[in-house]
Amino acid sequence: MVIDIRQVCSPTETKSFDTGQLRANYLITDIFRAGEITMTYSHLDRTIVGGAMPDTTVLKLLSNKQIGTKDFLERREIGIINVGGSGKITIENQSSEPQEYELANSDCLYIPMGAGQVYFQNSDANDPAKFYFISSPAHRSCKVQKITANDANLLELGTQADANVRVLRQYIHPEICDSCQLVMGVTMIANGSVWNTMPAHIHDRRSEVYLYFNMEENTRVFHMMGDPNETRHIVVANEQAVLSPGWSIHSGAGTGNYGFIWSMAGDNQDFTDMDFIKMEDLR
């Protein structure tokens, strides 16, 4: 399996990037390919961003030289959210019976370090599952946990006057699911609103990844990034992801309805650990 590798870029070099360079370093495309597992290895907190889209076969999550261990979860944890049709994830461990988890659309599964081998398959090949996953290094083994949208911690945010009404669900979060450093959830933008996360903020103690999804073919999100005094943007299509370093703002405005899966890894799991940027300080 080939893993795309992304190096860390500093604020100084990023402000000199043209559009192509910004996209090459920060945008991840083609996450879902029928019958394949894709992975991008980012040196931002050694995060792996991936997608598994089974067809009629079962897909096994394999390790790689870049990961450096025999088994994928030997020293890692993983969070998985299904954005497609229903599917099944099986975890096999030599010391116990296989565990099977049915994931409908919007369901999440957290799998800890040392859990065993992971397999993805469809419930209906005519309506394939799309398993989006994030993996980060781990230092201890927690427990496997399935979290549905109803199980998640629900936050209603924003105002219509500010065009940023949204519903946020915290799936892998200290109040819901124990993990080492991975935090993961979903935000859905209300019809008629366009903005997410505005006023903008940074959190230098952890990096973040956004997967934009639930978008029409011609809808685009203008993802805002960069140093607060040197902002840049990336135009993002459906089911594409953006890497966000701790020093960068991460906000966006869509031309139509959209949602995004956010995930974080780093020094702490405090969701409110944000350094907000005043509107007058943005450039």
Q: What is the pLDDT of residues 167-202, one digit of tens each?
A: 999 999 999 999 999 999 999 999 999 999 878 878
- All structural domains of the chain: 4-281 (2.60.120.10)
**The predicted structure's pLDDT at residue 265:** 87
Output b/e per residue, 224-257; b: 16+ Cβ within 10 A: bbbbbeebbbbebebbbbbbbbbebbbbbbbeeb
Q: What are phi and psi of 152, to 5 degrees?
A: -70, 155
Model confidence over 93-145: pLDDT tens digits?
877 789 999 999 999 999 999 999 999 999 998 899 999 999 999 999 999 99
Confidence of residue 154 (pLDDT cuts 50, 70, 90): very high
- pLDDT at 55 exceeding the cut of 80: yes
Section 43-48 average pLDDT? 95
The arrangement of strands across the sheet holding 251-254 comes to: 195-196, 251-254, 221-227, 230-236
Average pLDDT, the chain: 93
**pLDDT value at residue 2:** 75
- Please write the tens of the pLDDT for every residue from 70-92: 999 999 999 999 999 999 999 99
Closest by CA position to 87, among listed 50, 36, 123: 123
pTM score, two decimals?
A: 0.95
The answer to whether 103 touches 54, Cβ cutoff 8 Å, is no
Q: How far apart are CA 252 and CA 261, in angstroms?
A: 13
